[in-house]
Amino acid sequence: MIAYVVRHLTCDACGEPYAEDDVSVALHDDHQLVLEASCRACHAHRIVTAYERPPYVHLRRTEPIVPAMVTQDDVDEWSAFLAGFTGDVYDLLAQG
């Protein structure tokens, strides 16, 4: 796993590729690794989180997701609501 990550990882500061010896495991759990990388060229340090598989694979859902259709009534209702709304996005989300 580390070898795969190292082959695709370069230093953010100078762009040099990391060697396998430049990367160490700081934390490992069942699904992810937290890696610490140190650049030999410029000595910059970087923390990288790597997943053994995409994180969304871990989501468990038994029923399918069926998106709701947006109707003209929905658009009209939101338009009327927003026309009289004063506040920021936090206030907007608090309305829900």
- CB of 5 closer than 8 Å to CB of 24: no
Total domain count, the chain: 1
Domain coverage including residue 8? 2-54
Q: Is residue 40 part of a domain?
A: yes
How many helices (DSSP H) and strands (DSSP E) are in the chain?
3, 3
Q: Is residue 7 part of a domain?
A: yes
Q: Is residue 6 part of a domain?
A: yes
pLDDT digit string, tens, across residues 52-72: 766 656 556 567 767 788 999
Residue type, 21: D
Q: Is residue 32 part of a domain?
A: yes
Does the pLDDT at position 1 exceed 70?
A: no
Residue 34, beta-bridge partner list = 27, 49
pTM of the model: 0.49
Q: Is residue 30 part of a domain?
A: yes
Q: Is residue 45 part of a domain?
A: yes
Q: Is residue 94 part of a domain?
A: no
